[in-house]
Amino acid sequence: MSTLSLVLRGVWQWLKLVLWAAVGLQLFFVLHIASMRFIDPPSTAFERSQIWQIIKTQGQLPWRQQWVDVSQLSKHLQRAVMASEDSAFLQHNGVWWDSIEKAWGRNAKAKAQAEQRTAKRGEKTATPPVKIVGGSTITQQLAKNLLLSGERTLWRKGQEFMITLALETFLTKKRILEIYLNHVEWGEGVFGAEAASRHYFKKSANQLSPWEAARLSVMLPRPRFFEKRPQSPYLADRAQTIVTRMNDVNAP
């Protein structure tokens, strides 16, 4: 057998191993997600990464989290989060294409405006790439935090899409929302609705008023930022907007 044949055979064997590893990983994800129909996930990949970061920087772990069944979560909070993060949660299959398209439009417009400002100043700097903001559904956010790392690569986005479809296939909308609300970040070391409610309002998550629920929902895109700025005018104004939108959203 020639040297070239041996090399090609070795490459083929390596490719088969990579393929089987990829298939095995997908099977693991699918089985893990299917088990969530009956088993409450104790933590997410994002939470575990945050635990490590907090321990490294502070040397201790001020951690707040408590699982609460969806029946014990305020309907105000469920509707507020949907109104703020994903108003079409009950209608889409995990990916809200209209929202992604709108996000692309907003970012393209922002890029054009940045180019115009740069041109007016006569600067010779490269225009930053368009970055999609605001296109993720609740299911996509859960997929991202549940099992994946924080890196931004094409492979990771594809994996996020696959996990999103698996979540929508094996779990009900009610269950997806329940897991999301129990694990989403609401501040440094503050995860889940119950911990957030007690941290910010000194009460259980089933006792939140519509305005309190709306305020928590507005924090979600940047929870650690708003945790340090509780008097932010944007936080109060946006919360009032969400209160008015909550009537148009039904919890699953």
Q: What is the pLDDT along the chain (252 residues), one digit of tens a residue?
A: 567 676 677 777 777 787 877 777 778 888 889 999 999 999 999 998 888 888 888 877 788 889 999 999 999 999 999 999 998 999 988 887 665 555 555 555 555 555 566 666 665 444 444 444 446 899 999 999 987 665 666 777 788 888 999 999 999 999 999 999 999 999 999 999 999 999 999 999 999 999 999 999 999 989 999 999 988 899 999 999 999 999 899 988
Structure token pair of residue 179:
């897991």
DSSP run (H or E) holding 109: helix 97-121
User: How many Cβ atoms are within 10 Å of 174's Cβ, its own excluded?
Assistant: 14
State the residue for tokens 């949907």.
82
Q: What is the pLDDT of residue 212?
A: 96
CA 151 to chain centre: 13
Q: Which residues make Cβ contacts (< 8 Å) with residue 233, sequence separation at least 6?
A: none
Say how far apart CA 142 and CA 145 lie, in whole Å: 5
pTM of the model: 0.80
Phi, psi dihedrals of residue 134, rounded to the nearest 5°: 85, 15
Q: Of 100, 110, 93, nearest to 166 (Cα)?
A: 93
> What is d(CA 252, CA 138) in angstroms, rounded to the nearest whole number?
13
Q: What is the CATH number of domain 44-96+135-248?
A: 1.10.3810.10
Sort 85 into a burial class: Cβ within 10 Å, 0-12 / 13-18 / 19+: buried
pLDDT for the residue 133: 45
Q: Which residues of 86-99 are buried (b: 16+ CB within 10 A; e: fewer)?
A: beebeebebbbeeb
pLDDT the model gives residue 130: 42
Q: What is d(CA 240, CA 75) in angstroms, rounded to the nearest whole number?
A: 17
**Three-state DSSP class for 134?**
coil
Name the one residue in this structure whose structure tokens are 């490269």.
126
Radius of gyration for the chain, computed over Cα atoms and rounded to the nearest angstrom: 22
CB 133 within 8 A of CB 107: yes
pLDDT for res 15? 79
| Residue 8, Cβ density class (10 Å: 0-12 exposed, 13-18 middle, ≥19 buried) | exposed
